[in-house]
Copies of this chain bind each other. A is one copy, B any other.
Amino acid sequence: MSQTSIPSRTKQTSGVVAAGERARTSEKKSSVSVTVRPVRKAYEQVSDQLRELIMVGELEPGARLPNEAMLATEFGVSRATIREALRALTAQNLIRTVKGGGGGSYVTVPSVDHISEFVHANLNLLSDTRNVSLEELLEARELLEVPAARLAAERQHNGGCAALNAAIPEEPERLGTADQFVYNTDFHTAVVKLCGNALLGIAVQPIFSVLQTNLARSSLGRSFHLAINRHHRAIAEAIAAGDGDGAEREMRDHLAYLRPYYESAWRSAERVVARA
């Protein structure tokens, strides 16, 4: 694969601005409110510039950027600095680096899953810190999943429902709690997938995960799981029948049924937080 040379406008200005130069430059227009951080760290400048190139499309997905040594000389910094910048980009899933000959850093094609994963992680933290309320989570979920169920019903290309049924256990009585949760997750994931809108998946998946994580900490009776299974079956049937109204209603009822359980699990989690 050919080496993509980094498109540096003037070869002179493309480098990193050292602290000294930067200070001299910014003191020219010294109005009262200067930005708080006049010095940008070198690795930040590098990652910023590379990120910009990627976002603007100057570096297309799949493109390979120059090796670290070249980048170092181009930007006028050391290889260590370049590497720190690359790690940042990697963490944002903008590039992927492979070792060995013909290796290097390649611009990644972004994936829905990665976004979802990131949102999930951060939502988890947000909910741990109580910066987001249970009420918001439940409300958002309802706002998303209820229409999703409707859309799934209205658009079901027959055959897609197989995934739905696969996510409903034949003999729920014989499953442990952990397995039940797996099935539940699969089911809701399947519904959202079936609705055909990837963006909804990005939003629903993390919200569901966070709720589920909290719920998993509380102990739930067998009857609970059986009820869930009944609901899921009803929803699946409505979707399979192409009955949008029915799917919407069943899903709404299902979520309403779940609400008190989430609330109690959430409260006990609160005690744990308070204790610490």
Contact = CB atoms under 8 A, between A and B. Distances in A.
B197 A136 contact: yes
A198 B88 contact: no
Contacts of A199: 123, 132, 136-137, 139-140, 207
A128 B57 CA distance: 8
Given A87-B91, A92-B91, A125-B55, A132 B198 contact: yes
Contacts of A115: 118-119, 122-123, 126
A88 B143 CA distance: 34
A200 interface: yes
A198 to B, nearest CB: 6
Contacts of A119: 115, 118-119, 202
Interface string A100-137: 00000000011110110011011111101101100011
A52 to B, nearest CB: 11
B43 A87 contact: yes
A242 interface: no
A200 B84 CA distance: 34
A85 B90 CA distance: 11
A54 B124 CA distance: 11
Contacts of A91: 47, 87-89, 91-92
A112 B126 contact: yes
A244 interface: no
A57 B276 CA distance: 10
Main secondary structure of the interface of A (DSSP, over half): helix
Nearest to A56: B128
B197 A140 contact: yes
Contact of A93 (B93, B122, B128, B196): B122
Nearest to A93: B122
What 4 pairs across the A-B complex have the smallest Cβ distances?
A: A91-B91, A88-B91, A140-B199, A87-B87
Given A84-B84, A87-B91, 16 more contacts: A43-B87, A47-B91, A54-B125, A57-B128, A84-B87, A109-B129, A109-B131, A110-B126, A111-B131, A112-B126, A115-B123, A118-B119, A132-B199, A139-B197, A143-B144, A202-B203
23 contacts: A57-B276, A61-B125, A80-B83, A83-B84, A89-B91, A91-B92, A92-B118, A93-B122, A110-B125, A111-B131, A112-B131, A114-B122, A115-B119, A119-B202, A132-B199, A136-B197, A136-B199, A139-B197, A140-B199, A140-B200, A143-B143, A144-B144, A203-B203
